Amino acid sequence: MFKYTLDNKRYHTLNYFFNKKFNCKIAKISLNAGFTCPNIDGKVGYGGCIYCSKLGSGEHAGNVEDSLTVQFNKVKNVIDKKWKNAKYIGYFQAHTNTYAKVSVLKEKYEEILKQKDVVGLFIATRADAISDDVLDYLEELNKKTYLTIELGLQTIHEKTAKLINRCHSLEQFDKMVSLLRKRNINVVVHIINGLPYETKEMMLDTVKHLNSLDIQGIKIHMLNIIKDTPLEKMYLKEKFHLLTKDEYVDIVVRQLELLREEIVIHRLTSDPDLDTLIEPKWLLKKFCVLNDIDKLMKKEDTYQGKYAKEK
């Protein structure tokens, strides 16, 4: 049995982390609070990231036409039938969820925190979209509930960041990680493997950099090419290489080997929408991808942190 798992995974599972922290089943409920992004509305750019759908990576979040309470309870009512005595974390997922005045954020966050059996919040955002007054509010919130800020990075490589229209720098990202950690706020980082023209070594370099920072978790995704996005047009025109499933599995295993064992692995693959996914189709078989990661790690007798260096 490996150290940070309940089911003999060879990496630090989110299920293990939640079980140890809360001693019960924890379910995250994805929400759409109707925010936008600074690289959509013109503050730093227009059009958003080239891979992002109109839902702002919130395909599994609620319907923005519904109130947050309605969104939350629609999912909770289903989960309650599956898991008795579960607790919940509200996951503000779609677009950039700190990109508003404190008064607006407080109203939206508090609406979820007052729901029955909610034990915390996960808030997805960007490093350039947390103002000083929002940072102060997050520090206050962190003292009241279990809070995690999910920062989208995607890649450390400036050339790729410009290509995907990320519109913020690695320096901004590193600074925000530091600012959040000084206030004892947990940080989870989102990265994407298979971005156009990135090599395996570039993807590993992104993880090496993150391993040197004080982060508490990571999400690793494969690039999704979604209908009606600039990325779809680019792919159809340029036909850049997309990672095969075997290539992706190998890269993820190498990335896990480089990450400190205490970093929680929140995700190792994507949950694309069948109706909007162009490529790669192998992503639709999520559990096959996860099983192949497990099989390769077992075959090579490897594990998270095998080649990690202390930060």
271 Cβ partners below 8 Å, 6+ apart?
59, 60, 286
Write the pLDDT tens digit of every residue in 96-109: 999 999 999 999 99
Region at 220 (left for phi over 0; alpha for psi -120 to 50; beta for the rest): beta
Write the pLDDT tens digit of every residue in 26-83: 999 999 999 999 999 989 999 899 998 765 454 566 788 899 999 999 999 999 888 8
Residue 204 per-residue DSSP state: H
Domain ranges of the chain: 14-299
In the chain, what is the greatest distance between 2 CA atoms, to the nearest angstrom? 52
What does the alpha-carbon distance between residue 245 and residue 300 come to, in Å, rounded to a whole number?
Answer: 18
**Hunting for tokens 């936008």 — which residue is that?**
36
When the pLDDT of each residue in the chain is averaged and rounded to a whole number, the result is 94
CATH superfamily of the domain spanning 14-299: Aldolase class I (3.20.20.70)
Write the pLDDT tens digit of every residue in 4-21: 999 989 999 999 999 999
